[in-house]
Amino acid sequence: MPNKCIRVGILGIGSYAPDKILTNKELETIVDTSDQWITERSGIKERRIASPEQATSDLANIAAKRALEDANVLPEEVDLIIVATNTPDYFFPATACIVQDYLGASKAGAFDLLAGCTGFIYALSTAAQFVISGTYKRILVIGAETLSKVVDWEDRKTCVLFGDGAGAVLLGPVPEGYGLVHSKLGSDGSGKDFLSMPGGGSRIPSSKESIENKQHFLKMNGREVFKFAVRSCGDGTIEALKEVGMSSEDVDFFVPHQANDRIIRAAAKKLNISFDKIAINLDRFGNTSTASIPMALEEAVRQNKIKDGDNLVMTAFGAGLTWAVAILKWYDYRNR
């Protein structure tokens, strides 16, 4: 029975990053690049790299377990698990099913969601509808990636940017006046070739030739994605705020997708938000795609940077091309 009065918010959060750190200096020995170039062009100093044995679900499992512990919720109380990822363990089954099994979330449905780096906000928005409608009460939304497994370590234009990690939130009902205020999802499929992994699907099935042509690696037109990112992060956020009668002055804390320091600075300028109100972790983790927002959010929560009742805005962009914004009135579940 739909119940329009239910508000949905975050009730627990967790993250995980592999131990191995790869610095810009070390990258200088792998490809023709420099710490100076990477720092100036992206703001990234180092990133984490999964071990050969670690798949995406291994990272997701730990982040999810931590989010459940943070929320004080048992795995068997979870109704649904959504994993947003571009680097699933397998084509199928879904990585979410592997997480479900690991957690012992015996009553949960599970599926993966693909929306490029924007996947976490798409998944959060999708999960929220189940809570708002009264269908489910506890949903794990996870962003998890092992991008180090799909980048071409000979391509300096991409391999220096990405990292591995996972972040998870538990969504559920929150009191009136808190939780998700609005989410806006956008796409422009005409930009599908600007960021893709062309091989291995039904368009270019894996073959000796596709491997030789390196089509199983991530490909990116950085400049085009950059232009789209600046537009969507800035104008998209302003548009989403406007739709609910808010403006950038109402934003207390901003968690942008962690792809490039310059993109974040351009968005901050457009939104007129000071840097101390912005979550930044890309210097230490690089671009972790779907994991970047929950990982950055977790850090900000632990550092008490977000207060009860704050207007929190998350915004992302990525392959598809896709973009999305979520606006939440923060419910400080930790101090209840």
Residue nearest to ligand UT7 (CB): 222
Question: Could you tell me if 266 and 233 are in contact, meaning their C-beta atoms sit under 8 angstroms apart?
Answer: yes
- Between 226 and 331, whose beta carbon lies closer to ligand UT7? 226
- Going by C-alpha positions, the residue among 216, 190, 191, 189 that lies closest to residue 204 is 216
Cβ closest to ligand UT7, residue 287 vs residue 311? 287
How many chain residues interact with ligand UT7 (CB under 6 A)?
21
Q: Shortest Cβ distance from residue 203 to ligand UT7 (Å)? A: 21
With contacts defined by CB under 6 A, name the span among 131-139, 175-183, 221-229, 306-314 that binds ligand UT7. Answer: 221-229
- Minimum CB separation from ligand UT7 for residue 262, in Å? 7
Query: What does the block give as tokens for 124?
Result: 């959060």
Phi, psi of 117, rounded to the nearest 5 degrees: -65, -15
Closest distance of CB 228 from ligand UT7, Å: 8
Tokens for 154, please give them: 């000979």
Residue 190 CA: distances (Å) to CA of 193, 243, 303: 8, 25, 40
Pick the closer one to ligand UT7 by CB: 37 or 111: 37
Interface pattern 227-266 for ligand UT7 (x via CB under 6 A): --x-----------------------------xx------
- φ, ψ of residue 36 to 5 degrees: the values are -60, -45
Angle (CA) 327 312 227, round 5°: 70
Q: Kindly report the number of other CB atoms within 10 A of residue 104's CB atom.
A: 11
The structure tokens listed for 155 are 């391509």
Q: How many other C-beta atoms are found inside a 10 Å radius of the C-beta of residue 130?
A: 18
Nearest-approach distance from CB 263 to ligand UT7, in angstroms: 6
- Residue 81 or 195: the one with the smaller Cβ distance to ligand UT7 is 195
Which residue, 134 or 222, is less far from ligand UT7 as judged by CB? Answer: 222
Annotate each residue in 120-159 with x if it binds ligand UT7 (CB under 6 A) or - if it does not, as one string: ------------------------------------xx--
For the packed helices 222-231 and 261-271, what is the interaxial angle rounded to 10 degrees?
20
SS3 at position 196 = strand
Phi and psi angles of residue 195, each rounded to the nearest 5 degrees, phi first: -155, 110
Q: Are 287 and 229 in contact (CB under 8 A)?
A: no
User: Which residues does the annotation mark as catalytic?
Assistant: 117, 257, 287
Report the 3 state secondary structure along 35-66. HHHHHHHHCCCEEECCCCCCCHHHHHHHHHHH
- Does 196 bind ligand UT7 (CB under 6 A)? Our answer is no
With CB under 6 A as the contact rule, the residue among 141, 160, 278, 326 that binds ligand UT7 is 160
Contact flag: residue 37 with ligand UT7 (CB under 6 A): yes
Candidates 215-223, 273-281, 293-301, 303-311; binding stretch for ligand UT7 (CB under 6 A): 215-223
Binding footprint of ligand UT7 on the chain (CB under 6 A): 33, 37-38, 41-42, 117, 156-157, 160, 195, 220, 222-223, 225-226, 229, 259-260, 287, 289, 318
